[in-house]
Amino acid sequence: MHGVSGAELASSVAKGGGIGFLGSGFAKDKVSLHREYNRALEMGGNHGHERIGIGLVGFTGDWLVEMAIALSPPAIWITFGDYNEPIRKIKEAGIPIMVMVQSVEEAVTAAELGASAVVAQGSESGGHGAAPISTLCFVPEVVDALKAKGFDEVAILAAGGIADGRQVAAVFALGAAGAVMGTRFAATKESMYSDEKKQRYLAAKAADTHRTRLYDDLGAVPWPAGIDGRVIGNTFSKSHGTVAPAEEEKQKALKEKLAKGQQEGDLDVAPVWSGAGVGQIHSIDSAEEVVKSVWDAACARMLEISGKNVPFRMLHPGGGLRL
């Protein structure tokens, strides 16, 4: 997660038992990526070499892919843009690759190219994405499509709106082999996000978030067409539509307003990228604690629901109530 996940966060996730990724998709140069990765390995202690991966995006340059391969992490994450060639290179280097996908077709292509894991990201997700479909509906479609094509060895992970143990248990029920959390980790002690942004997470509920392309249209990063992002709505995002205005003058004025707001850290203008699972975040803990507590809660919930009769009344298709 760009601007969120540095050595502190990635290593804390690894210590908790997860795979922590450095948000390196927009790294400025080879030296800074190398330094950050080494710092993360040191901070991760025994788990660093096994569980700290490098996160890339598919449109920011071959040199980043080459560098990530040279660092030989236990996993590389890639998404967005034309990433077919990077996947081939990473695969050739023997590094497990996780590909975040936004459609069933993309999931199949990623599996064909040799992805070790496919991350099916639904529309509840925070930050950037393109899936118009909810995690609840998208994940089973990906599970069924990869099964039908015989890709049994490809792990399917679910992303989008997952922030607590119940939601992790739910995606296991959908057939996922694991869960990816973004927003939940952006709201941790080790996240590079400012304290003010973390406070926004604590105050927000799902309905406060919305998807928009406005920030990307007005920003400097050339996000590919069809991609937008989910934010906690603020005065700026709610006042100017979900795409930039076509008129040059208006666009220029909004660009200046956004640049100023970002520089000043004005959160009524600048974005706080957030998934719809934000309503499940009630405290700013360490990422290590989050991984452990979410996993414990997921296991407890799975035990609870597997050991009991269906705890609610279901409407029988024939009309009657079934207990």
- Note the residues at the interface with ligand FMN (CB under 6 A): 1-2, 4, 23, 25, 55, 57, 79, 100, 121, 124-128, 159-162, 180-184, 186, 273-275, 277
Residue with smaller CB distance to ligand FMN, 57 or 244 = 57
Residue with smaller CB distance to ligand FMN, 99 or 111 = 99
| Angle, vertex CA 25, rays to CA 135 and CA 10, nearest 5 | 75
Contact indicator for 226, 258 with CB cutoff of 8 Å = no
Smallest gap, in angstroms, from Cβ of residue 317 to ligand FMN? Answer: 33
Residue with smaller CB distance to ligand FMN, 245 or 284 = 284
Residue with smaller CB distance to ligand FMN, 254 or 272 = 272
> Among 197, 218, 171, which Cα is nearest to 274's?
197
Residue with smaller CB distance to ligand FMN, 210 or 245 = 210
Smallest gap, in angstroms, from Cβ of residue 154 to ligand FMN? Answer: 18
Classify residue 66 by burial, with Cβ atoms within 10 Å: 0-12, 13-18, 19+: middle
Write a three-state SS string for the chain.
CCCCCCHHHHHHHHHHCCCEEEECCCCCCHHHHHHHHHHHHHHHHHHHHHHEEEEEECCCCHHHHHHHHHHCCCCEEEECCCCHHHHHHHHHCCCCEEEEECCHHHHHHHHHHCCCEEEEECCCCCEEECCCCCHHHHHHHHHHHHHHCCCCCCEEEEECCCCCHHHHHHHHHCCCCEEECCHHHHCECCCCCCHHHHHHHHHCCHHHEEEECHHHHHCCCCCCCCCEEEEECCHHHHHCCCCCCCCHHHHHHHHHHHHHHHHHCCCCCCCCECCHHHHHCCCCECHHHHHHHHHHHHHHHHHHHHCCCCCCCEECCCCCEEC
What is the number of the residue whose Cβ is closest to ligand FMN? 182
Contact indicator for 140, 120 with CB cutoff of 8 Å = no
Residue with smaller CB distance to ligand FMN, 2 or 301 = 2
Smallest gap, in angstroms, from Cβ of residue 148 to ligand FMN? Answer: 25
Smallest gap, in angstroms, from Cβ of residue 219 to ligand FMN? Answer: 13
Smallest gap, in angstroms, from Cβ of residue 322 to ligand FMN? Answer: 34
Smallest gap, in angstroms, from Cβ of residue 180 to ligand FMN? Answer: 5
Smallest gap, in angstroms, from Cβ of residue 160 to ligand FMN? Answer: 5
Residue with smaller CB distance to ligand FMN, 202 or 310 = 202
Smallest gap, in angstroms, from Cβ of residue 179 to ligand FMN? Answer: 9
Residue with smaller CB distance to ligand FMN, 224 or 245 = 224
